[in-house]
């Protein structure tokens, strides 16, 4: 009679498939955190790389001289 008063059914369901859902939820959270953290780190590196490429292009075109190029290169690092 104890199985019918609400104690037995919830435990049986949770032990059957509930743990699979929790594992999926945890894996998704970890995946999203890794993606978020990884994209922040990569975007900074790409921005710095692109800024240096623009600086080199400006120097190659003669828009800036060697002294200004070297100063701006130090600022980017």
Q: Is the pLDDT of residue 3 over 80?
A: no
Domain ranges, ordered by start, for the chain: 2-76
Q: Would you say residue 77 has pLDDT above 90?
A: no
Q: What are the tokens at 60?
A: 């190659």
Q: What is the pLDDT of residues 20-64, one digit of tens each?
A: 888 899 999 999 988 888 766 655 566 678 888 999 999 999 998
**Non-local CB neighbours of 59 within 8 Å, separated by 6+ positions:** 66, 69
């Amino acid at each position: 009679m104890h199985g019918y008063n609400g104690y037995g059914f919830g435990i049986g369901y949770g032990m059957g498939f509930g743990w699979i859902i929790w594992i999926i939820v945890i894996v998704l959270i970890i995946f999203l955190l890794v993606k978020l953290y990884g994209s922040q780190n990569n975007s900074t590196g790409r921005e710095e790389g692109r800024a240096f490429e623009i600086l080199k292009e400006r120097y190659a075109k003669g828009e800036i001289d060697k002294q200004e190029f070297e100063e701006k290169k130090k600022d980017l690092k």
